[in-house]
Amino acid sequence: MDFRNGIGLRPLGSSAAEFEQDLLSNLYYRRGTTVESASAQDAYESLVLTVRDRLAARRAKTTAAHYAANPRWVYYLSAEYLLGRQLEQNILYSGTGEIATAALKALGVSPEEMDELDIEPGLGNGGLGRLAACLVDAMATLDIPAIGYGIRYDFGIFKQTFVDGAQVEKPDDWTFQGNPWEFPAPDDRQTVFFYGYTSRDESGRTKWIPGEIVLGEPSHMLVPGFGTETVNIVRLWRARGSESSFDLERFSAGQYAEAVQEAVRAENISKVLYPDDSTELGRELRLKQQYFLVSCSLRDIIRRFRLWGGPWTDFPSKAVIQLNDTHPSLAIPELMRLLVDEEGLGWDEAWLLTQRTFAYTCHTLLPEALETWPVAMFERLLPRHLEIIYEINQRLLEEVRSRYPGDTDRVRRMSLIQEEPERRVRMANLAVVGTSAVNGVAELHSKLLAETTLHDFAEMWPGKFRNVTNGVSPRRFVRIANPALSELITTALGDSRWVSDLDRLRGLERFADDPLFLRSWRDIKRANKVRLGLGDPDALMDVMVKRFHEYKRQQLKLLHVITQYHRIKDNPNGNHVPRTILFAGKAAPAYHAAKSIIKLINAVAAAIDADPAVARYLKVVFPPNYNVTLGELIIPAADLSEQISLAGKEASGTGNMKLALNGALTIGTLDGANIEIRDRVGAENFFLFGLDTPAAIALKSSGYNPRSYYEQDDELRAALDAILSGAFNGVGKEVAESLLHWDEYLTLADFRAYVECQEAVDRAWQDQTAWTRSSLLNTARSGFFSSDRTVSDYASTIWHVEPVRVARD
């Protein structure tokens, strides 16, 4: 292999003329068409190739620099990536914006038309997948040698449509037109085993004799750094049958389905992203996906390790593997299997290497969201891994017994195997035991993890636990999403260094009392509302965008909307602050309670629209199919950011950060990263309400009775009664019933405090100068929430990696 990659290549020009020349060459030679007959798709793909080539040249230089440095690499394993559209990002990162726009004129198309053809790869569900994308962006920006590994699902997160207000899911065939951004690398394909049995040879070594063999074929997408030459990659695996999986004999005999069944079974592994981000689906195919990702990626990591040679003892100093939640935690027994069974290392040595190589990020607190798998399924699908897990467990429990003699309850809790009601493997316990660092994703979350969900482990190994507060990409969510604001910030600060050094936003504080500046700030917010095109741009834009989950409490927001509706109806000539309430987000297809809430929101929106006396002051909009692209339009237009989860339930939230950075004021509980946002932007620029975590726990354990709130609060009762009486087209009675009888997430308990806090929002809105000042201060003081800061925290406290700079030409 030649690692002087890229050296000696003809450099790609940086002038408009050269870009245009390359664009036309791509049109002729790669698309096989001409300017006269090119379709929009032809133009788009030629443009992609022209931009991509410029990044590919940097990629080659990056590879060469990395190879020479032989550094410790970060391998980020994640079942999900929500990368967002690539075109605008890659044009920005390659610095080709102006020359691309000029060149497109030659083809008679606009950059906006091209963006419309750029399909977002929806390979994730929500915050966890988008966080993975923000982290790989930051790793490249900080020149950290890294690869993100994931799955190239044929179908990403479903497309959400509404039929009579109800969510209906449509498949997301995101590669229908192909994906011009990716580089297939079939020569790096890997072989993955499933099922079968184990046996021991004469020397006592275990061998796994598989029952099914599947191929994993990688392709990668480029992950450029901003303001640097580094281009990293995400490598995504796609499952396929082996060469012999097509049965020609059967095909010839007319048994068409049977002829391809083996290949179809293999390909199903990477067919769909599971549309579920909090609860375990309990399906074998999902476990198969997880093992598929892990097995392909580890073999690839080892292949790369071997390029340099070196003994296994060096492995942890060349690779740190970050597990994004428990989905890839099978990597722990898989590395043990490779080291012990295939490489012949002793258990103890292999275990030390394994622990030193892995680190684990936990993204939840909900116990029901911690993955477990039935032992019986494991035994069938991954017989050798189950043996290894038993061995790890035996050693773990020995240690627990010797540290805490007689504490059988603790042994039961810490075991990797849950015994009742069904034997299951606890993946979070495995991930904690098999790694050297475990982190939560916000201060409160990390604290609660150590005190509750993972308490026994934190007590036994306190040094393993830490916090790394999440962050978001300032490129994606400010520079690209909000170009007008970015320009204003750059002008105010004198340069654009803030884009990769977000603490510089602090410099905006000097303008907090400058009326002209505040005027421009407000004008941009208004223009962003016009760009979004939903609701009156002079109304307060009140935004709740996130997955639908009862703990996030969209139902609380909705009860406030109904209350506001009633107040306006009762007093149509009152002094009401006009608001547009924007909801967006998807519910897991099998999550009926969340889908009922969606349907009810749409019904309430329709009732309000139909009532002209109310519609002047209140409008509810619910654009379907929330994704990164839609988020980039909505977030810059928001005045108010709704972060109203029950305290102690939202691990972090990252939408809260994106909104604050774009100058929205938060109304929120003391949950997740809200706490840190409030600490930074200042309590006077944040609308706080509701129970805190200890109060929520105390209320629950004292025997919470939601009905007492209903009985004592007239407005709450009126809102729930309206739903129960069928006022919204008869929709949503089950939502109200469930709140009255159960209300798992204390919605009714927080209702009054929330409504009063919304009154404070209305009062604050009346003074536009003060509001705009707060908006500016939210942006100025949110620099901490850059994913660059998150990645440098990981790099210094967990990964212990150094940047490798790629020289400019």
Residue 27 interacts with ligand NBG (CB under 6 A): yes or no: no
State the binding string over 660-689 for ligand NBG (x if CB under 6 A, else -). ------------x-----------------
Task: Please indicate whether residue 546 is annotated as part of the active site.
Answer: yes
Q: Could you give the CA distance from residue 376 to residue 383 in angstroms, rounded to a whole number?
A: 10
State the binding string over 255-274 for ligand NBG (x if CB under 6 A, else -). --------------------
Task: Please indicate whether residue 66 is annotated as part of the active site.
Answer: no
State the binding string over 69-108 for ligand NBG (x if CB under 6 A, else -). ----------------------------------------
Least distance to ligand NBG from the beta carbon of 156, Å?
A: 16
Stretch that binds ligand NBG, among 566-574, 648-656, 714-722, 738-746 (CB under 6 A): 648-656
Task: Please indicate whether residue 271 is annotated as part of the active site.
Answer: no
Stretch that binds ligand NBG, among 381-389, 485-493, 499-507, 650-658 (CB under 6 A): 650-658
CA end-to-end distance (rounded Å), the chain: 23
Kindly tell me which of 20 and 642 has the beta carbon lying closer to ligand NBG. Answer: 642
Could you identify the residue written with the tokens 């097509």? 246
Least distance to ligand NBG from the beta carbon of 652, Å?
A: 4
Task: Please indicate whether residue 552 is annotated as part of the active site.
Answer: yes
Query: Partners of 372 in the beta sheet?
Result: 426
Residue 690 near residue 754, CB atoms below 8 Å: yes
Residue 393 near residue 450, CB atoms below 8 Å: no
Q: Could you give the CA distance from residue 260 to residue 256 in angstroms, rounded to a whole number?
A: 7
Least distance to ligand NBG from the beta carbon of 21, Å?
A: 44
Q: Contacting ligand NBG (CB under 6 A), which of 220, 363, 426, 781?
A: 363
State the binding string over 470-499 for ligand NBG (x if CB under 6 A, else -). x-----------------------------
Q: Could you give the CA distance from residue 568 to residue 97 in angstroms, rounded to a whole number?
A: 48
Q: How far are the Cα atoms of 78, 464, 617, 637 from residue 446, in angstroms, in the given order? A: 20, 12, 42, 32
Q: How long is the chain?
A: 809
| Cα torsion angle, 732, 733, 736, 741, sign | negative
Could you identify the residue written with the tokens 């040679």? 309
Kindly tell me which of 58 and 678 has the beta carbon lying closer to ligand NBG. Answer: 678
Q: Contacting ligand NBG (CB under 6 A), which of 277, 542, 550, 750?
A: 277
Q: How far are the Cα atoms of 267, 501, 553, 654 from residue 676, in angstroms, in the given order? A: 44, 19, 20, 12
- Residues from 320 through 349 that contact ligand NBG (CB under 6 A): 325
Kindly tell me which of 276 and 715 has the beta carbon lying closer to ligand NBG. Answer: 276
Q: Contacting ligand NBG (CB under 6 A), which of 322, 364, 693, 775?
A: 364
Catalytic, out of 66, 552, 595, 599:
552
Residue 127 interacts with ligand NBG (CB under 6 A): yes or no: yes
Best CA proximity match to 301, nearest among 153, 433, 190? 190
| All residues at 6 or more sequence positions from 665 whose CB lies less than 8 Å from its CB, including other chains | 639, 640, 641, 685, 686, 687, 761, 764, 771, 774, 775, 778
Task: Please indicate whether residue 363 is annotated as part of the active site.
Answer: yes
Residue 157 near residue 627, CB atoms below 8 Å: yes
Could you identify the residue written with the tokens 């939640």? 325
Residue 693 interacts with ligand NBG (CB under 6 A): yes or no: no
Task: Please indicate whether residue 547 is annotated as part of the active site.
Answer: yes
Residue 208 near residue 193, CB atoms below 8 Å: yes
Residue 26 interacts with ligand NBG (CB under 6 A): yes or no: no
Kindly tell me which of 654 and 662 has the beta carbon lying closer to ligand NBG. Answer: 654
Residue type, 265: R
Residue 297 interacts with ligand NBG (CB under 6 A): yes or no: no
| Cα torsion angle, 715, 716, 718, 722, sign | positive
Catalytic, out of 654, 669, 693, 747:
654
Q: Contacting ligand NBG (CB under 6 A), which of 192, 386, 417, 441?
A: 441
Kindly tell me which of 88 and 650 has the beta carbon lying closer to ligand NBG. Answer: 650
| All residues at 6 or more sequence positions from 442 whose CB lies less than 8 Å from its CB, including other chains | 467, 469, 470, 651, 652, 653, 672, 673, 675, 676
Kindly tell me which of 280 and 692 has the beta carbon lying closer to ligand NBG. Answer: 280
Residue 131 interacts with ligand NBG (CB under 6 A): yes or no: yes
Residue 652 interacts with ligand NBG (CB under 6 A): yes or no: yes
Just list the catalytic residues.
363, 546-547, 552, 654, 658
The residue ranges that bind ligand NBG (CB under 6 A) are 126-128, 131, 277-278, 325, 363-364, 369, 441, 470, 650-654, 672
